[in-house]
Amino acid sequence: MNLRRIIFLFLICFGIFIVLYSPSALVHAQDKPHTHYWNEPEDYRASPEPETGGAKGYKKRVQSDDYMIVTANPYATRAGNYILEKGGSAVDAAIAAQLVLTLVEPQSSGIGGGGFLLHWDAKRKKISSYDGRETAPASFHEKTFLDDKGQPRGFQDLVQSGLAIGVPGVVKLMEDVHRQHGKLPWKELFQPAIELAYNGFYVSPRLHNMLSRKPVEQFHPIARQYFYSNGKAAQVGLRQRNQSLSRIFTTLANKGAHAFYHGDIAKMIVQRVKEISNDKNGMRLEDLMRYRVIKREPLCVSYRRYKICSMGPPSSGGVAIAQTLKLVEPYDMGLVPLNSKALHIISEAQKLSYADRKRYLADHDFVKVPVPGLLDQKYIDKRRRLIDLDETMTKALPGQPDFKKQSSFGIDATQERPGTTHLSVIDKDGNAVSMTSSVETAFGSKVLVNGFLLNSQLTDFSRKPVDENGTLIANRIAPGKRPRSTMAPTLIFDENHNLEAVLGSPGGSRIILYILKSIIALIDWKLDAQMAASLANFGSRNGPFEIEKDQLPPKALDDLRAKGHQIKMIPMVSGMHLILKQHGMLFSGIDPSREGAAMGR
């Protein structure tokens, strides 16, 4: 055998060795998918989304026959769609997508955060509601957020001290719903995220923009090293690998949520919190071990001939949405979207709902929230009489609903920040998932633990336990308590209890406005899914009338000003993700100012 042939055979053998025994092949030799579902469309990097908070772009409506998933990022959508292609359930697809979002959209959600999930079982015609919200550690008390002088500590001070980090709930939430509604093996759902984290993803325009807007010094050194290079945010199109997260996902795939709450991962979380906290209070291993997902009753109300279902407390979103819909129900919203009469009525009703929300809504396991009283028809009728069709109310005061069990409801001092994602799924059997999850303000605590960020959700508590009158505030912090949220995953049904729409949105305290706009656009203004999602966002959080710039004609603005409205034109980037079911078909609706994507078959 001559030397040339020996070299040739050696190169062939070496090539085979590299393919079979590279680290990637070793990690993913089992269950490796045949389809590279994580690859972007060819024009993904060439056609960036509009700048965060910028002008609205364009989203093509996706239509399918059998199933559909809509998420905040094309990678996550492709992962969920791949699971649906394999015969997975809506829950299976939601889990696969959420895991990928941990990697590609870390500014909004991830396994270091919490969330709420609504599930529709089409065969049993049953709605299930799951609370995976974070909890306060056992060492916390009513004065944890006060300084030595008894004054509330600053927001950034709390975030950087580690006191804002709540016990994460997403991993346990995913495992619990999978046990009840999953079809594919738990381990299989992790493969898209494992491989994508190991091989890398392309940094999106939105992730780059969000990093660019944050002071680099706010990030913990390990997170800073991952997200920045020489003080500059990771560039658009950069292939970003996260092999630490790939290993975490592999552990969870093999050992389940127990490894997150009892094993080495839990110890790493506690150790990292301890490193950054100079306080005696902080998360302990026992806090993680005690964490439980709570299955709650969904909150449903009728509107026109439809049934709207969302989350109850500790979410305030579902109650505020329900209240507003019942308040505006007797009025004719007109056929023309965004007509000034409808905008006035809706925003006045929202003021009343937001006033009640701020006073009464909190974790129902700690405060006897008067939900039946807030939705009682006599109370709704009484509150509706405060709406003047010719003049706006400057600021609504909370009402006094009837409730049997007395609780303390002081004037709230909670300051909320946005930082959330939403995904909607319908599988081939008609089952559906509406899931909203969060790490709180962008990038949460900005503390990285083996590739994933920890949340800063405890800032959603009131930092003051009592108001100026000495009355206890409902949303004050307490050990084991879940902070009030606005997240409101939502399902819409027709009069025969057939599923019509799956929707939800990020947006902090504006989530209520975004979901209400979409519901009214679909039901009253008869818009299709994409038109409803693209429609200008508007509303009032018991203050000025907020509207996206250049989205209303001058005549409508003049009409609102004539009624006394203070108009505030601001960017309102919703992140609405909607699936509408009509005539046996599924149609997508995506906020065009963000990076959401829909897929289906």
Quick one: 554 exposed, middle or buried, by C-beta within 10 A (0-12, 13-18, 19+)? exposed
The residue type of 362 is A
Q: Which residues pair with 167 in a beta bridge?
A: 135
Helix (H) / strand (E) element for 452: namely: strand 452-453
Quick one: 468 exposed, middle or buried, by C-beta within 10 A (0-12, 13-18, 19+)? exposed
CA 550, 552, 553, 555 dihedral sign is negative
Distance between CA atoms of residues 443 and 448, nearest Å: 10
CA 242 distance to own-chain centroid: 22
Who's near 545: CB < 8 A, 6+ residues apart? 343, 347, 392, 538, 539, 560, 565, 566, 567, 568
Q: Catalytic one among 135, 420, 436, 490? A: 420
Which of 116, 106, 108 is closest to 440 using CA atoms?
108
Who's near 55: CB < 8 A, 6+ residues apart? 593
Q: Which residues pair with 599 in a beta bridge?
A: 69
The three-point CA angle 369-375-380 to 5° equals 130
For the chain, how long is the longest CA-to-CA vector?
A: 98
Annotated active-site residue 420? The verdict is yes
Which of 137, 490, 150 is closest to 312 using CA atoms?
490
| Torsion, Cα of 123, 189, 506, 282 (10° steps) | 120
Beta strand residue intervals within 252-373, DSSP E: 294-296, 299-303, 306-310
Q: Contact 438/108 with Cβ under 8 angstroms? A: yes
Which residues are identified as catalytic?
420
